[in-house]
Amino acid sequence: MNKINNYKILLVILLFYSSVFAQRISVSAFTDSSHYKIGDYIKYNLLAKYDKNVRIIFPSVRDSIKNLEFIEELKPVKKEENNKFIENRIYVFSKYDSASVTIPSYKIFYQVAGDSAKYSIDVNPITITVSTLKVEPQKDIRDIKSPMKIPLSLIVIILIVIIIIAVITLAYFIYRYFRSKKLSKNIIIEETKIPPHEIALNELKKLEEQKLWQKGLVKEYHSEITGIIRKYFEERFNFRALEMTTSEILACLSYLDEGKPILNLSNDFFNNADMVKFAKFEPMPIINEEMMKQAYKIVYDTIPKMEEVKSEGEVKDVR
């Protein structure tokens, strides 16, 4: 009988302490939404409310959540309210596949001042849905709106007419000058065509100097750099890359002997740009830098052998 009473007393004590500790700390997890598109940023909030004599041992949330891609951890926000600490920690994740994802539960350990024991509390799980965008692969990339047509004013029309007259007059005198010179000496003017790889390398260098993505113009940067490579493919391999989708360009490269070595590199290059254009993906700075390196490598790896020999010692490899 005494043993039964002792067990009852022990049980009451345990329940009492459990209730006391439960009041000392509470944790909850939530996201800023329950539905996301592929590549969207998922803000995962971990909110903890605890007494001043409680010390929380926050776990590595990055390691606890394996089914999402970790992006960054924001600076925690901590304040005091009703003689308790309220601390909010925000972690940014992303997901590049469409699926229903359950962010798992995990334990947070803590200690109470004057007590050497270590206690734990469970964080609630969260279920979110990541869906894909509807993409028509057969259609080319187009702007959302067509270019705006601005009507010409009378002053602009007069200015254009004056410029045209001036150009015609200048052309006439130049013609007269060279015609008179030709009467005394035949002049052979050779038209030199700039190789496609030189044009592409110059355009990449100019784009790099503009520092578009560093100024926040990430989408414009990706449109410019892919446009340069598309134009280079047209001139170098003689197919209409500017009018093709990514899959069509890769298909053309796979049939060319000179295009096969850069097939995987081109696939990564264009897929990164497509993520920015279609999935509202905000790439990390290292991805923007990698795009420029990939563009240079695509051009360098496809320079004709004769051009490589002529350019030896003049062209620096940035790979």
Which tens digits make up the pLDDT trace of 107-125?
A: 999 999 888 898 999 999 9
Query: Is the domain of 121 the same as that of 203?
Result: no
Lowest mean pLDDT segment, chosen from 231-240, 259-268, 270-279:
270-279
Burial 140-149 (b: 16+ CB within 10 A, else e): eeeeeeeeee
As for how many domains the chain has, the answer is 2
294 inside domain: yes
Asked if 115 and 25 touch (Cβ cutoff 8 Å), the reply is no
Statement to judge: residues 219 and 299 lie in one domain: yes
Domain end, chosen from 79, 110, 131, is at 131
The pLDDT confidence band at residue 19, using thresholds 50, 70 and 90, is: very low
Q: Which CATH number belongs to the domain containing residue 105 in this structure?
A: 2.60.40.10
Q: What is the pLDDT of residue 27?
A: 94
Residue 50 confidence class, pLDDT cut points 50, 70, 90: very high
Most confident of 9-23, 29-43, 228-242: 29-43
Handedness of CA 177, 179, 183, 189 (dihedral sign): positive
Confidence of residue 283 (pLDDT cuts 50, 70, 90): confident
Beta strands in 52-194 (DSSP E): 54-57, 69-73, 77-81, 84-94, 99-103, 107-112, 119-122, 126-131
Domain extent at residue 41: 24-131
Query: Which of 215, 234, 207 has its CA nearest to residue 293?
Result: 207
Question: Is residue 281 situated within a structural domain?
Answer: yes
| Amino acid 146: pLDDT | 60
Percent of the chain with pLDDT over 70: 78
Given a cut of 90, whether residue 318 has pLDDT beyond it is: no
For residue 120 the two structure tokens come to 């734990």
Per-residue pLDDT tens for 168-192?
999 998 988 888 777 766 555 556 7
Q: Which of 111, 131, 151 is the last residue of a domain?
A: 131
The predicted model gives 39-67 an average pLDDT of: 91
Flag whether 174 is in a domain: no
User: 128-137, 250-259, 297-306: which range is least confident on average?
Assistant: 128-137
Higher pLDDT, 277 or 170: 170
Task: Say which range, 5-19, 43-57, 104-118, has the weakest mean pLDDT.
Answer: 5-19
| Residue 207 and residue 289 in one domain | yes
pLDDT at 11: 46
Q: Which residue has the higher pLDDT, 291 or 188?
A: 291
Most confident range (mean pLDDT) of 29-38, 136-145, 248-257 is 29-38
- Please report the pLDDT score of residue 188 as a whole number: 52
pLDDT at 74 > cutoff 60 = yes
Q: Is the pLDDT of residue 66 over 50?
A: yes
Percent of the chain with pLDDT over 90: 33
Residue with token string 């990939």: 294
**Residues ≥6 apart with Cβ < 8 Å to 179:** none
Token pair listed for 140: 């080319």
**Selected residue with higher pLDDT from 258 and 187:** 258
Tell me, yes or no, whether 142 lies in a domain. Answer: no
Confidence category of residue 150, pLDDT binned at 50, 70, 90? low
Exposure string for 271-293, b = 16+ CB within 10 A, e = fewer: ebbbbbebbebebeeebbeebbe
Strand duo 126-131 + 69-73: pairing: unpaired
- The domain boundary, picked from 86, 116, 131, lies at 131
Could you tell me if 38 and 132 are in contact, meaning their C-beta atoms sit under 8 angstroms apart? yes
Q: Is residue 313 part of a domain?
A: no
- Nearest CA to 292 out of 194, 211, 238 is that of 211
211 & 117 share domain: no
**201 in a domain, yes or no?**
yes
Average pLDDT over the chain, rounded to an integer: 82
Q: Is residue 170 part of a domain?
A: no
- Would residue 203 count as lying in a domain? yes
For residue 8, what pLDDT band results from cuts at 50, 70 and 90? low
- For residue 271, the number of C-alpha atoms closer than 13 Å in the C-beta half-sphere is 10
From its phi and psi, is residue 44 left (phi > 0), alpha (psi between -120 and 50) or beta? beta
- Find the helix or strand (DSSP H, E) in which 46 lies: strand 42-51
